Structure 1
Amino acid sequence: MSSAEQTPRPTRLAAAAAVAGVEALGLVAGGVYMAVNALTGTAGDLTGAVMGAVTLVALGLIPLVAARGLWLRRSWSRGPAVITQILALPVAWQMLQANSVMIPAGIVLGVLAVTGLVLLVNPATTEALGIRRPGQEA
């Protein structure tokens, strides 16, 4: 067991893992919702609905794997987690532009994405993941 695994997990790292996990659950839940709509016949375009559902579930695997990696302190997991947060920002923006029930979801997604980014670039998080900053000694 390495010394990083013996020290307590920083709260910021646990919170970053939780943010990625919540985003993963949201994507998978959206995919399942679309699949149910497609299979019950309420979707207009069956092929499009099924492809959308499969895409959302597949995209949900990225933050899910990143969340697990963050929780286990794997340095590689920060990259997919950061990319997920960056991609979530324009999606949140588009949701905020709608005149519908998507506005509250866009607010939640935007808050999650910004929070996730702040947590992932925090020095405590990078140190816990074993990522050295430029100019830092080995």
Structure 2
Amino acid sequence: MSSEQRPSTGASSPAAPRPARLSAAAALCAAEGVVLAGFGAYLLVMGLLGAPSSPQQAEMGGLTLLALAALPIVAARGLLLRRHWSRGPAVITQLMAVPVAWTLVGTGGAVIAAGAALAAVAVTVLVLLVNPTATAALGVGPRDER
């Protein structure tokens, strides 16, 4: 099948360079996923060791964080591969991160820095993903009607 006969996936040609904005958004999403997985693994291990006052709660929290970590990691891979579906999970992850960051900042103490960092990353990724260059690379947005 020639290149003219192949069905369009909606994304720009794989031969075209990936926009830096898309690469940055993918890297930040992947970092969020890795951090979530790290916290999940920590909670799971602490629960298994019986360290917290409620090991079952720690185990369940750890498993939940490990499951949630999959979303930004899968979205990051999709962004790197320029899959149009990947923008949705990436945006949803950031929209979920903003209230979490707000809560962390509001609690005070040592977690203020973590909340501020999470908020900065979430807003940055949202800005990168709504950028016209990124949306065009993913094949998202208005389509020409011919």
On whether the aligned pair clears a TM of 0.5, the verdict is yes
Q: In the alignment, which residue of structure 2 is the partner of 1:94?
A: 103
Task: Name the structure 1 match of 2:144.
Answer: 137
Structure with higher helix content? 1
Match of 1:115 among 106, 112, 124: 124
Which residue pairs with 1:17 in the alignment? 26
- Please give the root-mean-square deviation of Cα atoms over the aligned residues, in Å: 1.4
Instruction: Please report how far the alpha carbon of residue 40 of structure 1 lies from its aligned counterpart in structure 2 after TM superposition.
Output: 2.1
Please report the TM-score for the alignment, with normalisation by the length of structure 1: 0.94
SS of structure 1 residue aligned to 2:39: helix
TM-score by length of 2: 0.89
**What displacement does 1:60 show?**
0.3
Is 2:57 the partner of 1:48? yes
1: CA distance, partners of 2:89 / 2:129: 11
Displacement after TM superposition at 1:118 (Å): 0.1
Q: Select the residue among 31, 35, 50 that pairs with 1:26.
A: 35
State the Cα distance separating 1:98 from its structure 2 match. Answer: 1.3
Q: Following the alignment from structure 1 to structure 2, what is the Cα–Cα distance between the partners of residues 54 and 4?
A: 38
Counterpart residue identity of residue 100, structure 1: G
After superposition, give the CA deviation of every residue in 1:106-130 in whole Å (9 maximum; x if it has no partner): 0100000000000000000000001
Q: CA deviation at 1:132?
A: 2.6
Which residue identity does 1:57 align to in structure 2? L
Give the ranges of 4+ consecutive aligned residues of structure 1 lying more than 2 Å apart after TM superposition: none
Unaligned runs of 5+ in 2: none
Q: CA deviation at 1:99?
A: 2.2
Aligned position for 1:79 = 88
Q: Which shifted more, 101-110 or 40-49?
A: 40-49
- 1:3-24 deviations in whole A, cap 9, x for unaligned? 6200001000000101110110
Bigger-Rg structure (1/2):
2
Q: How many positions carry a matched residue from both structures?
A: 136
SS of 2:58's partner is helix
Unaligned runs of at least 5 residues, structure 1: none
The more displaced of 45-54 and 34-43 is: 34-43
SS of residue in 2 equivalent to 1:6: coil
